[in-house]
Structure formats: structure tokens, C-alpha cells
Amino acid sequence: MYNFFAILKNGKRVYLIRKTKLRKFLGPVVRQFSFAECNQAANGIVFIQMTKRLSIKFLYMIRPLLISSLLITLLIECNPERVRYTNELKQEMADSKIKRITNADLVETVDDLGGKVIAVVEKELTTQLQKTTDPAERAKICQLNNLPRTKAIAERYALDIRLLGEADIQNKTLNAKEREILDAYLYSVKQKQSPISNIQKITDTTYVYNKPVALSSPICDVCFGKQETPFAVWHLGFNKREVVRRMSASIKKKSS
């Protein structure tokens, strides 16, 4: 048996149909061609003029292809913002390939990064406070306003950087765990102890790094001097995904 084709001419368009579909398409007409004739006709190709009746049958036969093309066209037209490999999508794909990281790994990274960030931010805050004696200006600085380096660090690492005091123990916007830590810090300061940094997993996607400011620092006196106990605590809110990205980048850098 020969695998012959039929070329259906419809105006300027030419359609090519395999033998398997030719019999279904043409019905009895296909029996007009013997295998010998097909073998002699342009290497097994039979030319058939497209009539109106055959055009209807042909359109019906390729209807799945037409419907698929129509749906794709509609989806593209209805969604002008087509799916593209943006930097965010690439990063999402990269995150999904990162190997499993334990909670201990995350805590270690937060602890290391938190200590470095606070050293830089605290230095900038202290420097700016020493440049002015205006109470209004100092109040703005204590709110971490007009600190360009601190702002840049917060944006770069997706950090929530705040300076907390005794009043924040009653701050309901803070997580209950963190308020308990603040209360424990206050007790330690009153007992003349030197509290250390603390890391808490607040939610599945958030870690908070707290570290008290040394009582000898002008930050405690200038920013919280009116409190019964002038102590200050740094709050760094870390996004888990951002921490994982930093860890992944560090691993790739070491391996290269």
C-alpha cells in the first residue's frame, strides 16, 4: 500500500491531507484512484479541486484546530500583559530549586546579618543625634527619619527596622512574643544585667531580631530619656524568603 496524499486547491490556499484522513474526507471519491494511479501521480500525490461541498467537509474536519487557534487568539487579546520571564518570575523559579534549609541555618544567618546591620544603623543614628541639639530634629532622627544609609539597607534587605522602648511593651501592634522579650529586657536592665540579642520566629515567613542598645549610648538618653528606665531595643523584621535568597547567593559565590 502506498502512503499517498491529496492536495486540495481552494483558491490560493493549498491543503495537504494524508491517506488516513483522505478516505474519511472524500468518501467514495477516494476509490476512483487506484494505488497504481497514486504511485504514478507525482510520487503518490493526487490533486483534487476543492468544491463548495468539500470545503464545508474540510472545515468540519479541522474544527479542533480552528477552535484552538481562536481560543489562543482570545487569550492573547484579553490579556495585553502577556506572561514573560521577568526578573521576579526567574527569581521565583530559582527559589524553587534551592535545597532544603533548616531552621537552624536560617537563625544563624539572621543572627549574623542582624548584628552587622545594627552596627551600621546604630553608628549612623548616633552620629546624626550628635550633630544637633534641636529637640524636634532629634525626635525625627529617633524615628529613624533622615537616615539615608539606614533606608538603603532596609530596602536592600527588605527589612523592617525600628527602635523600640519601654512603652512598646504595651504596643498591641507588636507580636505577643516580641512584647514578652521587651519585658524581659526591661527586667534585665533594671537588674543591671547585660542582655544579649534574641531571634524569634514570629510567623512561618517572618523572623524578628532584637538587640538592646547599650545604656551608655546617647540613643537611650536622647530618644528614651523621659521613660522611667531609658532603655532602647532594636527591632529587625526579616522576611524568610529574602533570607533564603541571601543564603543561596552566598552558597553560589563560595562554590564559584
- pLDDT exceeds 70 at position 119: yes
* DSSP-derived secondary structure letter, 41: S
| Residue 37: how many other CB atoms lie within 10 Å | 13
> Which among 166, 147, 176, 157 has a CA at the least distance from the CA of 233?
166
Q: What is the mean pLDDT of residues 203-230?
A: 91
Contact by Cβ (8 Å): 174, 162: no
Measured CA angle at 137 (ends 136, 139), to 5 deg:
65
- pLDDT exceeds 90 at position 209: yes
- pLDDT exceeds 60 at position 49: no
Residue 12's pLDDT band (boundaries 50, 70, 90)? very low
Q: Which domains does the chain have, with CATH numbers?
A: 5-78 (no CATH), 96-255 (3.30.450)
- What is the model's pTM? 0.61
User: 187 vs 247, which has greater pLDDT?
Assistant: 187
d(CA 164, CA 230): 11
Q: How crowded is the C-beta side of 5, counted as CA atoms within 13 Å?
A: 11
Average pLDDT for the chain: 76
- pLDDT exceeds 60 at position 46: no
Contact by Cβ (8 Å): 238, 117: no
d(CA 165, CA 190): 14
